[in-house]
A and B are shown apart, each in its own frame.
Chain A
Amino acid sequence: MERMLMKPKVAFFDFACCEGCQLQVANLGEALLDILGAIDVVEFREVMSEKWDKNYDVAIVEGSITDEHAEQRIRKIRDRSAVLIAYGSCATIGGVNGMKNSFVLDEIRQSVYGKDYQLFDSKKTRPIHQVVKVDYFINGCPVYHPEVIEVLKCALRGVPYAVPDNPVCSECKLNENVCMYDRGVACLGPWTKAGCNSWCINNGNICYGCRGMVTNPARNGANDIMARYDLNFDLIRNKFDMYNKCSEEDKNG
Chain B
Amino acid sequence: MANKTVKIDVEYLTRVEGHGNIVIDVKEGKIDKCEFQVVESPRLFEGMLRGRSIFEAQHITSRICGICSCGHSLASIQAAEDALGVTPTEQTIKLRKLLLDYEFLDSHVLHVYLLAAPDVLGVPSFVPLVKTHNAVVRRALRMKKLCNDVCDILVGRHVHPISAIVGGFTKLPRPKDLDAMLEMLESMRDDMAETLALAKTLQFPDFYRETEYVGLVSDDEEYPLLMGDVGSTDGKRLGKKDYRQATNEFIDPRSSAKFAKWSRDSYLVGALARFNLNSDKLHPTAKAIAEELGLKPICHNPYLNTVAQVVEIVHCYEHAIDLIKDLKKNGINYDEEIVVGVNEQQKIPVRAGDGVGAVEVPRGILFHNYVTDSNGIIEQANCIIPTNQNIANIEYDMMKLLPEILDQTKEEITLKMEMLVRAYDPCISCSAHYLNVKFVE
Contact = CB atoms under 8 A, between A and B. Distances in A.
Interface of A: 14-24, 26-30, 32-33, 36, 41, 44-50, 63, 66-67, 69-70, 95-97, 99-100, 102-103, 108-109, 111-113, 116, 119-122, 141-142, 180, 183-186, 199-200, 202-206, 208, 242
A70 B41 contact: yes
Interface in B310-362: 337, 339-340, 342, 344-345
Contacts of A49: 14-15, 118, 124-125
B69 A183 contact: no
Interface of B is mostly: loop
B386 to A, nearest CB: 15
A236 to B, nearest CB: 12
Contact of B41 (A47, A67, A119, A184): A67
A112 B56 CA distance: 19
Given A19-B429, A49-B15, A184-B344, A120 B66 contact: no
Nearest to B170: A204
A2 B41 CA distance: 40
Shortest beta-carbon contacts, A-B, top 9: A20-B66, A29-B145, A204-B170, A203-B156, A48-B125, A49-B124, A120-B436, A108-B47, A203-B162
A18 B40 CA distance: 11
Contacts, number: 205
B126 A113 contact: no
Contacts of A95: 63
B330 to A, nearest CB: 22
27 contacts: A18-B64, A18-B66, A18-B429, A19-B18, A20-B65, A20-B160, A23-B67, A26-B141, A27-B158, A28-B141, A29-B142, A30-B138, A33-B141, A46-B14, A46-B15, A47-B115, A50-B125, A95-B63, A99-B52, A103-B48, A108-B44, A113-B433, A120-B436, A142-B66, A186-B344, A199-B156, A202-B156
A65 to B, nearest CB: 9
B44 A109 contact: yes
B15 A18 contact: no
Contacts of A102: 48, 51
Nearest to B40: A16
A204 B125 CA distance: 39
A14 B48 CA distance: 21
Nearest to A117: B435
Given A21-B66, A49-B124, A49-B125, A32 B114 contact: no
Instruction: Kindly state the interface size class of chain B when it binds its partner.
Output: 35 or more
Contact of A185 (B144, B342, B438): B342
A225 to B, nearest CB: 14
A22 B66 contact: yes
Given A16-B41, A97-B43, A180-B340, A119 B435 contact: yes
A50 B127 CA distance: 10
Contact of A48 (B14, B18, B156): B14
Interface string B187-199: 0000000000000
B160 to A, nearest CB: 6
Q: Which of B14, B43, B158, B339 has the most CB of A within 10 A?
A: B43
A121 B124 contact: no
Nearest to B119: A49
B8 interface: no
A208 to B, nearest CB: 6
A100 B41 CA distance: 13
A50 B128 CA distance: 10
Interface string B123-165: 0111100100000011001101110100000011111101101
B148 A27 contact: yes
B63 A113 contact: no
A242 B56 contact: yes
B298 interface: no
Given A16-B41, A49-B125, A96-B63, A111 B46 contact: yes
B403 interface: no
A206 B44 contact: no
B237 interface: no
Given A100-B47, A122-B44, A206 B15 contact: no
A28 B435 CA distance: 34
Contacts of A16: 40-43
Contacts of B46: 111-112
Nearest to B258: A113
A33 B344 contact: no
Nearest to A142: B159
Contacts of B66: 17-24, 142
A120 to B, nearest CB: 4
Given A17-B429, A111-B46, A30 B145 contact: yes
A110 to B, nearest CB: 9
B256 interface: yes
A204 B163 contact: yes
